[in-house]
Amino acid sequence: VAMRVEAMETTLVTGLSVTPGKGELFVHCGDCEHIVACTAIQRISEEDRALPRSAFPRQVARVRPLTRRCHICDRVTAIWGTYNDIMAKHMPGFFCKNCFLKAHYSPDGTLFDPTFRCFPYHHDAN
């Protein structure tokens, strides 16, 4: 099965093929997978018709971002996430820039353990 890859930031709802109740695969951070299903589709009402097209899709709720702190210093917001990392307390592990570099690289820039995987971490939605 061929999968289409689209950037969330530039994809419009009108460009999606949506079937109510059918799950679609959503992948982020490289390999974190979620099944997302649309449960309701609504026709535009007469009241909505008076609004400009730019008013759609309407945002009905705003999720406050959940930022994670570094697992080492526990003071600074994490910007790196890791998997299969011996330096992490948990999986995935989360690190600020300074702790990530100190925990994973020697002073001469050599990677201590090349088997772990890392990804830029932005934030989670709670």
**Of the spans 1-10, 51-60, 77-86, which averages the highest pLDDT?**
77-86
Instruction: Please report the pLDDT score of residue 126 as a whole number.
Output: 47
Q: Which amino acid is at 5?
A: V
Work out whether the CA dihedral 31, 112, 97, 75 comes out positive or negative: positive
The DSSP secondary-structure symbol of 13 reads: G
Buried b (16+ CB within 10 A) or exposed e, 64-78: eeeebebbbeeeeeb
Q: Take residue 24 and report the two structure tokens written for it.
A: 């679609």
Q: Is residue 125's pLDDT more than 70?
A: no
- Split at pLDDT 50, 70, 90, the class of 102 is very high
Instruction: Quote the pTM value.
Output: 0.51
Q: 31-50: per-residue pLDDT in tens?
A: 677 777 777 777 778 888 88
Cβ neighbours around 81 below 10 Å, total: 23
